[in-house]
Structure 1
Amino acid sequence: MGETVDPGPVSGRAILGQTLKVLREKAGKSLGQLAEDTGYDKSYLSRLESGERLSKVTVMEDLDSYYGTGSLLVGHWKAARLDAFKDQYKEFMKLEATARIMWKFSPGIPGLLQTEEFARGILVGAQTTADGEEAVEEQVAARLGRQYLLKQKPEPEVRLIMDEVALRRPASQGKTWHDQMLHLEAAALWPNVTLQVLPFSAGAHHHMNGSLTLLWQRDGSAVAYKEGNGCSRLIEDPDQVLRQRLSYDRLRDMALSPSDSLTFIRDVLEEHRS
């Protein structure tokens, strides 16, 4: 009796591609007909089905609507986007997706609040390979997909502290930066988001070289995640998580109040306009 060869785990992107193909064939559509019906390029749709590309989540929303499949494709897309990240970050993202409370500090504009063009500008600089453009688009799509977390029901309670340096290093394109600042201004008014700025006047602090995230689940369990200097660490030990929470509390004490932070953002926006 021959041995069975384990093909290994199937990627989320492959499952999404297979689902797209099955739905199209079940609807009796060719790739050409689907392209004509939806307005998406035929070769682009083909690459989605083969698992070669990761689309923006809005494409999956359109196709869910087209096939009448509720949020089936969006659900598969959420799993597929994890393929764009490293293993430890994947575990963090799974926890982030189910967290009821999020506390985050970022030296730059937090990924959860980046506009598409601003995110693209940051990610382009990190790509040096021939296939860099395609890799950038996949990472942009995955990053923007994380922002769905802020709108899911029930909405998580989110506190974001960002260093003033984030507001003093503009994007290379004026319109990109203007749109990003407007987005921050709008986000500061969202009911489930508390946005604070840590000003230069607060002086040196203990998280100048990296970001910190704290997540609480519905059952009260918590983890911390740190990134900086080219490395990352997921912290699950309760004592260490508590230390990170106290560390975050110190940052919050140093930061401007939410209302003063909104005024600060608006002042920077006005400076840019001038």
Structure 2
Amino acid sequence: MVHMRNLDPGASPLDYYGAELRRRREATGMNQVQLGSCIFVTGSLVGQIETAKKVPTRDFSERVDAALGTDGMFSRLVGLVLRSQLPHWFQAYAEMEAKAAYISTYQAQLVYGLLQTESYARALLGVDRPDQVDELVAARLERQRILEREQPPVLWVVLDEGVLHREVGSREVMRAQLAHLLSFHDRPWVQVQVLPFSGGQHTGMLGSFTLLRSDDDPDLFYTEGYDAGHMTANPQVIRERSVGYARLQAMALSPEDSAALMSRVMEERYGHGSAVA
């Protein structure tokens, strides 16, 4: 059993979640083991979440709401908890991304976060933060929920061809990731283009960037470095990068040809019978 400690509910969304979970559980007369049994987890996990030592998942929160009759409270709260696990310098961007009606992004090295599989994200995030990989992956998957809305944002992604060839995790991880990208081909609000090696020099060679367009907020340009993000609404920057993005789209393969290239790489490089390149 986890040693109970008093939490300051105002310290963080995670502390507030833990304090409320403990209060609501005790109000029903259940102990941690009994609640855990109801939602198919250990009492130890319940205790770790109540003491803010572990971050809850959305599935855990939905089960708790059902077990405690809390009318979706924890399911609503978990989104705030998971967003708080993102790096502080990234949280402002994530907030604006969630509000965007149109997202256009060029990615030079990695699959864009909204289109990453769990295993791909886990391999990436585990490189520098292996002790927090579960929390970071959960936060990334929470970001992706905007694509499941009734009115999701329009998402246009241009990937450098090198993204397809850089093996992240394993061949199996990459095969699943490319299959996941291909699964968006029939969604009209998600378009994926590949910028081929044959395109030579281009306007995106300085690095990845994203443009956000919202119904209620100014357009935004975002780029990031190793430990910081830069976001601006400067009209001149937006104008220049919008033109640059249009050029990247024009240089990239069509969505249909991009899908064909992804399928070919998936089979030839990451297929079950392929040789390691």
TM-score between the two structures when normalised by the length of structure 1: 0.87
2:5 maps to what in 1?
none
Distance 1:181 1:45, change over 3 A: same
Q: Any unmatched runs of 5+ in structure 2?
A: 1-7
1:41 maps to what in 2?
42
2:32 maps to what in 1?
31
Give the conservation status (yes or no) of the 8 Å contact 2:39–2:60.
no
Identity of aligned residues (%): 30
1:12 maps to what in 2?
13
2:119 maps to what in 1?
117
How many angstroms does 1:70 deviate by? Answer: 4.7
Distance 1:249 1:27, change over 3 A: farther
Give the conservation status (yes or no) of the 8 Å contact 1:112–1:146.
yes
Distance 1:101 1:27, change over 3 A: farther
**Residues 1:149 and 2:136 aligned together:** no
Q: How many equivalent pairs are there?
A: 263
How many angstroms does 1:57 deviate by? Answer: 2.4
Q: How far, CA to CA, are the matches of 1:39 and 1:145 in structure 2?
A: 22
Q: How far, CA to CA, are the matches of 1:230 and 1:207 in structure 2?
A: 20
**Residues 1:105 and 2:89 aligned together:** no
Distance 1:230 1:255, change over 3 A: farther
* Alignment equivalent of 2:208, drawn from 186, 211, 232: 211
2:253 maps to what in 1?
256
How many angstroms does 1:231 deviate by? Answer: 3.8
Deviations along 1:81-125, one digit per CA (max 9) or x if unpaired, are 232233331111111112111111212111111111111111222
Q: How far, CA to CA, are the matches of 2:228 and 2:103 in structure 1?
A: 21
Deviations along 1:118-164, one digit per CA (max 9) or x if unpaired, are 1111122223xxxx33x111111111111111112321111111111
**Alignment partner of 2:30: what SS?**
coil
How many angstroms does 1:237 deviate by? Answer: 2.1
**Alignment partner of 1:215: what SS?**
strand
Distance 1:88 1:31, change over 3 A: same
Q: How far, CA to CA, are the matches of 1:68 and 1:162 in structure 2?
A: 45
How many angstroms does 1:203 deviate by? Answer: 1.2
Distance 1:217 1:33, change over 3 A: same
1:245 maps to what in 2?
242
Q: Any unmatched runs of 5+ in structure 1?
A: 1-6
Considering only aligned residues, what root-mean-square deviation do their CA atoms show, in Å?
A: 2.2
Q: How far, CA to CA, are the matches of 1:9 and 1:202 in structure 2?
A: 52
Letter of the 2:137 partner, please give it.
V
Give the conservation status (yes or no) of the 8 Å contact 2:103–2:210.
yes
How many angstroms does 1:31 deviate by? Answer: 0.8
